[in-house]
């Protein structure tokens, strides 16, 4: 008998349902289904007749989501895959156009709490950090095989780590580093504890995780496919948890909601670009104080919404 897992708490559920404008009979794609929290809420709100396609690269997430969504058997399908291929996945399953697409980005609490996955410095584990265990590149490969210059580059670019160069040099001197605890100790020796609540290894671990899973490249690829999947009036919702993800989402939504993306100063438009989206709200939505108190991991969440303008067929 399969044990029922302890489910994580999905963030900003009411805002997701409102942002997607979920209606009975609608078709929705949860591009990062995780443990199925948002997916379940979407299926509940779209009943009767709602359909959901859930995608995740993590096989454990697919297993857990299947358990959570069992009461909606026949109304959902789960696909193990990378959401950078969301267009192909939807078309292969005849699941387009859709009424809504959801991207809940970053790492899930389920992955953090799986100590053996090596995502967190709070557990001693091998330096892995792969969302898809079949991917070839691990955090240990980067830590022990990449040059000092490349390590410093990703620590700065993906972690916005001010001590990137010093940490990279310390990592190279301390090689080999094979566990999360070993790496965390090296970083702490360089960066110190400081006066902030942020653990000194937080930014570096984020940077390594993003590099291992190519998270920013994957997000850009997926967003570029979103407009073609949405039917007229369909909604796109993106939840991000750090500034790098939010910057990409914000830039994409602004560009696709503009009729001209030419550089400023040109006497006339030469890009030929036409808006495909309408922003729903000018600013990102944030979780309520009550939600943050109940679920501190929601603290950094930002939710952005856009609506597909009329297609040629619409």
Domains and CATH numbers, the chain: 13-104+215-308 (3.40.50.150), 116-213 (1.10.150.170)
Q: Which residues contact 140 (CB under 8 A, 6 or more apart)?
A: 126, 127, 128, 177, 178
- Whole-angstrom Cα distance, residue 14 to residue 19? 8
Q: Which residues contact 65 (CB under 8 A, 6 or more apart)?
A: 33, 34, 35, 36, 39, 54, 56, 78
Taking alpha carbons only, the member of 281, 285, 279, 288 closest to residue 302 is 285
Find the angle CA(248)-CA(251)-CA(253) to the nearest 5 degrees. Answer: 105
- Whole-angstrom Cα distance, residue 248 to residue 260? 18
Q: Nearest 5°: phi and psi at 123?
A: -125, 140
Q: What is the pTM of this model?
A: 0.92
Q: Which residues contact 17 (CB under 8 A, 6 or more apart)?
A: 41, 42, 45
pLDDT in tens, the chain (314 residues): 344 445 578 999 999 999 999 999 999 999 999 999 999 999 999 999 999 999 999 999 999 999 999 999 999 999 999 999 999 999 999 999 999 999 999 887 777 777 778 888 888 999 999 999 999 999 999 999 999 999 999 999 999 999 999 999 999 999 999 999 999 999 999 987 665 678 899 999 999 999 999 999 999 999 999 999 999 999 999 999 999 999 999 999 999 999 877 777 777 777 777 899 999 998 999 999 999 999 998 999 999 999 999 865 44
């Amino acid at each position: 008998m399969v044990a029922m897992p302890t489910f994580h708490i999905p963030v900003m559920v009411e805002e997701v349902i409102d942002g997607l404008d979920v209606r009975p009979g609608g078709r929705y794609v949860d591009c990062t289904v995780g443990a199925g929290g948002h997916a379940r809420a979407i299926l509940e709100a779209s009943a009767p007749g709602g359909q959901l396609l859930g995608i995740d690269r993590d096989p454990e997430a697919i297993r857990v989501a299947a358990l959570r969504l069992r009461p909606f058997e026949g109304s959902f399908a789960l696909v193990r895959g990378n959401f950078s291929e969301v267009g192909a996945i939807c078309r292969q399953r005849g699941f387009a156009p859709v009424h809504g697409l959801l991207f809940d980005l970053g790492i899930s609490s389920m992955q953090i709490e799986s100590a053996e996955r090596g995502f967190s410095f709070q557990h001693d584990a091998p330096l892995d950090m792969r969302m898809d265990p079949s991917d070839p590149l691990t955090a240990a490969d980067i830590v022990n095989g990449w040059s000092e210059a490349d390590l410093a580059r990703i620590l700065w670019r993906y972690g916005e780590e001010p001590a990137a160069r010093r940490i990279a040099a310390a990592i190279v001197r301390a090689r080999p580093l094979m566990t999360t605890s070993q790496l965390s100790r090296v970083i702490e020796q360089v960066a110190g504890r400081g006066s902030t609540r942020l653990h000194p290894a937080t930014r570096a671990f984020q940077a390594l995780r993003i590099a291992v899973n190519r998270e920013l490249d994957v997000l850009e690829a997926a967003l570029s496919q979103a407009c073609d999947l949405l039917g007229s009036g369909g909604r796109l919702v993106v939840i991000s948890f750090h500034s790098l993800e939010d910057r990409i989402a914000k830039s994409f939504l602004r560009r696709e909601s503009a009729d001209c993306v030419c550089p400023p100063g040109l006497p006339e438009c030469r890009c030929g670009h036409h808006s495909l989206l309408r922003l729903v709200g000018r600013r990102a939505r944030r979780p309520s104080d009550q939600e943050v108190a109940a679920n501190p991991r929601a603290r950094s969440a930002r939710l952005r919404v856009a609506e597909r303008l009329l297609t040629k067929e619409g």
